[in-house]
Amino acid sequence: MSDWQAVADEVAEKLRADAVAREERGAEPHAEIELLRESGLLRLLIPAERGGAGGDWPLAHQVIRRIAAADGSLGHLLGYHYFQLWRTRLFDNPIADRLERDSAAGNWFWAGVSNPRDAALELRPADGGFTVHGRKFFATGASVADHLIVSGTWTHSGRKATFTLPARTEGVRFLGDWNNLGQRLSASGGVEFTDVFVPEGELLGHQPEEGEPRRWRDSLAPLGFQLLLAQVQVGIAGGALAEGARYTTESSRAWPLSGVDRAADDPHVLAAYGTLASRLTAAELLVDAAAAAFDNATREIDERKRGELGILLAKAKVVSTEVALEIANRVFELTGARATGAKYGMDRFWRNVRTLTLHDPVVYKATEVGKHLLDGEFPPVTGYS
């Protein structure tokens, strides 16, 4: 185990200790972000020469999984933080170096405002830069972030552009309207921009046109999002299984007809836990393989490699979704009726997974895999594939 994985385990244990109470309060996760900040984990993917820890994507995914097992919302937030800061490197723009140095020095937490189905932000040229207008309805982590990476559309050309700005910039208003079934501490509410001025030097770049050299590298962004969702899902599943096993060992009563004194000695319970643990390990290995492939693709990518990565990530999304939902549901069968008590918060795992797995319909990921198997076709490049 690396030192950073050990750090993640320490943070995860602190999060697990009061996870139920924190979720019941449902406050913005400012204190939780400070815990991540104090741990040093926010600097993990920043190169050492710019003040960071110099970690790679496979290590970051191990960290995300550990945090997600304790608190699905914080695993989600940390994963998006790593991803949004990494996205600044996709544009061949030298300001990425400065952003990484500043982020390391300030220990910034990053979030994004770039929902691909919500193209509501308009960019209008202005003297020395441009102004931003409009509303985004889902922006995970934005309200607790230090710095944002934002996508919008030029009113004069219809071309999509990406830029950065401090989260507390004048004219940026966080709506605080996230009140959903799960991921309650993910700060996923909307953001409104009213005459927000952005200096020209904060423009990262534009969505590449067909045939531009950086097109395939840029197209890694939606695949990275899918990979993070799969990783958080298996993390939450692991947390549910561990919490269920803990409860079964310490609190569950054996069923009278089982012929054993402890629920943990019931052969049906043992077999069920063994089956779920085996399926979880298979899902983890598949997601790990996808994380390694994604890391390789960030260094060398072309159309075919991008297509192969898309299929692998689609498989990881299908399997992680099914396994996470199964574990979060079946853990109740293995813990018993008393485990449904609100004080145990066992339902948070199912609610978090059920919410997260609806990010985009997984049936379309299965369709992509089937199309490749039958016709050899790779998934189209979209905001979700």
Write down the mean pLDDT value for the chain. 95
Q: Is residue 64 part of a domain?
A: yes
Question: Do 220 and 366 share a domain, yes or no?
Answer: yes
Question: Do 104 and 71 share a domain, yes or no?
Answer: yes
How many of the other CB atoms lie within 10 Å of CB of 289?
15
How many of the other CB atoms lie within 10 Å of CB of 292?
15
Predicted local distance difference test score (pLDDT) of residue 87: 95
8 A C-beta contact, residue 33 and residue 358 = no
Question: Do 20 and 124 share a domain, yes or no?
Answer: no
Q: Is residue 254 part of a domain?
A: yes
Question: Do 70 and 126 share a domain, yes or no?
Answer: no
Label residue 372 by pLDDT band (50, 70, 90): very high
pLDDT tens string 118-151: 667 999 999 999 999 999 989 999 999 999 999 9
8 A C-beta contact, residue 308 and residue 289 = no
pLDDT tens string 212-229: 878 999 999 999 999 999
Question: Do 222 and 359 share a domain, yes or no?
Answer: yes
Listed residues 108, 132, 152: the one ending a domain: 108
Listed residues 108, 137, 169: the one ending a domain: 108
CA 144 to chain CA mean position, Å: 15
Label residue 209 by pLDDT band (50, 70, 90): confident
* Token pair for 48: 């050492």
* Token pair for 171: 């004219």
| Sole residue written with tokens 């050309």 | 157
User: In whole angstroms, how far apart are CA 359 and each of 4, 62, 67, 217, 317?
Assistant: 29, 22, 20, 23, 11
Summarize the confidence of residues 283-305 as an average pLDDT.
Answer: 95
Share of the chain above pLDDT 90, in %: 91
Q: Which residues pair with 183 in a beta bridge?
A: none
Q: Is residue 223 part of a domain?
A: yes
Give me the half-sphere count of Cα atoms (radius 13 Å) on the Cβ side of residue 175. Answer: 18
Question: Do 102 and 117 share a domain, yes or no?
Answer: no
Does pLDDT of 14 surpass 90?
yes
In single-letter form, the type of residue at position 308 comes to E
Distance CA 83, CA 201 (A): 21
pLDDT tens string 85-95: 999 999 989 99
Q: Is residue 383 part of a domain?
A: no
Distance CA 229, CA 227 (A): 5
Domain with 74 in it: what CATH number? Answer: 1.10.540.10
Domain with 236 in it: what CATH number? Answer: 1.20.140.10
Does pLDDT of 2 surpass 80?
no
Predicted local distance difference test score (pLDDT) of residue 214: 86
Question: Do 191 and 233 share a domain, yes or no?
Answer: no
CA 257 to chain CA mean position, Å: 44
Does pLDDT of 97 surpass 80?
yes
8 A C-beta contact, residue 169 and residue 145 = no
pTM (two decimals): 0.96
Domain with 178 in it: what CATH number? Answer: 2.40.110.10
Q: Is residue 350 part of a domain?
A: yes
pLDDT tens string 152-165: 999 989 899 999 99
Question: Do 161 and 244 share a domain, yes or no?
Answer: no
Distance CA 346, CA 240 (A): 7
Q: Is residue 381 part of a domain?
A: no
Label residue 208 by pLDDT band (50, 70, 90): confident
Predicted local distance difference test score (pLDDT) of residue 272: 97
3-state SS assignment for residue 241: helix
Question: Do 245 and 336 share a domain, yes or no?
Answer: yes
Listed residues 184, 206, 228: the one ending a domain: 206
Range of the domain at 87: 3-108
Predicted local distance difference test score (pLDDT) of residue 118: 63
Q: Is residue 382 part of a domain?
A: no
Does pLDDT of 117 surpass 80?
no
3-state SS assignment for residue 158: coil
How many domains is the chain built from?
Answer: 3
Does pLDDT of 24 surpass 80?
yes
8 A C-beta contact, residue 23 and residue 348 = yes
Predicted local distance difference test score (pLDDT) of residue 1: 62
pLDDT tens string 254-281: 989 988 999 999 999 999 999 999 999 9
pLDDT tens string 45-60: 999 999 999 999 999 9
In single-letter form, the type of residue at position 306 comes to R
**Among the listed residues 62, 55, 56, the one whose alpha carbon sits nearest the alpha carbon of residue 11:** 62
CA angle 154, 358, 181 (to 5 degrees): 105
Question: Do 332 and 238 share a domain, yes or no?
Answer: yes
Q: Is residue 380 part of a domain?
A: no
Question: Do 116 and 225 share a domain, yes or no?
Answer: no
Question: Do 136 and 262 share a domain, yes or no?
Answer: no
H or E element at residue 199: strand 191-199
How many of the other CB atoms lie within 10 Å of CB of 300?
9
